[in-house]
Amino acid sequence: MQYLTGFGPHTAGSIANEGPIRSYILQEIYSVAIEANSTGFTAWVDEQTSDYGQFSIKNIYRTYNRLKNLILKITIPSTFEASLLINCHYDSALGSPAASDDLVSCASMIEVARKFAQLDVAQFTGTKSVTIIFLFNGAEESALLASHSFITQHSWAKDIKVFINLEGSGGGGRVHLFQAGPDQGAVEILLDAYSSTFNHFANSFSEFLFASGMIPSDTDFRIFRDYGGISGLDMAYILDGYVYHTVNDVEARISDSCLALSGDNLFKLAKSVILDKRLQDITSNKKRSDSPLNLKADKYSPTNKRSFLTKLYALAIAVFLQISCILLILAFVLTNAWIIHYFGIRLSWYAFRHNLFGIYLLPCLLTLAVFFTTNYDDLSIKKFSRFFVELGWLCETGYYLFTYQLGYGPQV
């Protein structure tokens, strides 16, 4: 991890991400595969380059081509049914070295894979489901693209029963479990293994916050769940969250004890999951369509026609709202400019700096808030008014507006 963070920010497609970082991880997983094959396991390494793909999340359409994934598969000979996927990503957000998001997870996964490769294969005799896939995806920060290319295009994806997604939104500390699901049977297996291996750090409120959309972020968990039809756990470092996606997300903030503990727990968790006999009874959910607007092209029927017209209508409404928003912003700017000129307060903020907020920012925020509020009762203008009255802003600003108009205010 220290070596990889030394390259600094490395977004998907950058020279650092596609060159030395990718090569180093590939070298490490090849060494693990060689060791696994020498101890009785069967291991494969695959360098996936994706074909063209497209999908949508929250009506935002994303396309990609030629994305890179590094994949290590370890299984017992004659047992070719994949059971568990462990995922991380090695690309970074713009401007961040990405120690906790997500190179620390890459380091943990490599060491966990190495530890599995060193086990005595005899202890797994008679266990059908001993197969683990370690996915190091190369484009998560770019809208979850690489995980989608794996789960929808790679031949190993069809046999996956459950997954563990490793993320980071802070500089270390304990690993926080903040999402699990959706299949109840699969979740029971995962949570039973989690409760027996991890020092619990999870709560349902975190899952509620993430699922509600209050947190403007997403992880590969969504891709595996929605497009792979599989269930899993979503875990992340959250301590010192202020370093998330910043230049301060460096290797020095993650202690050796933290790294060792998380790797140890991850190994125990993975081993517990693959040894659970209930895993063979898990079936994947139906995968979502990847075509634009999720339309089906193989069969035409009146029902499909209605579905198409409904989605076309929704698309037209979305375009109309975007155009309306642009026009509203233009109208607001012109109206606000006219009011400021009419009252002669163009430079009033030189004498009263706090008026910058009231003259320029507050009207814009309120206008856009009203426009994007579907139920206007939810937007309590009284609460806004009370807040600013308590600050004394409304009274003071009103006074200065009228005194300027009458010519008694301070001269600028």
Residues belonging to the active site: 140
Backbone angles phi, psi at 27, to 5 degrees: -60, -40
Q: Tell me, what DSSP letter sits at residue 406?
A: H
Tell me the C-alpha distance between 101 and 11, whole Å.
12
Classified as helix, coil or strand, 253 is helix
DSSP for 293-356, please give it.
Answer: GG---S---HHHHHHHHHHHHHHHHHHHHHHHHHHHHHHHHHHHHHHHHHTT-TTGGGT-TTHH
Tell me the C-alpha distance between 19 and 42, whole Å.
28
**Letter string b/e over residues 241-254, b meaning 16 or more CB atoms within 10 A of that residue's CB:** eebbbeeebbbebb
Tokens 């530890």, located at residue:
115
For the record, the structure tokens of 369 come out as 């808030």
Tell me the C-alpha distance between 373 and 361, whole Å.
18
Instruction: Say if CB 279 and CB 183 are below 8 A apart.
Output: no
**∠ CA 79-81-82, rounded to 5°:** 120
Q: Which of 110, 95, 281, 91 has the alpha carbon at shortest distance from 167? A: 91
DSSP for 3-20, please give it.
Answer: HHHTT----TTSHHIIII
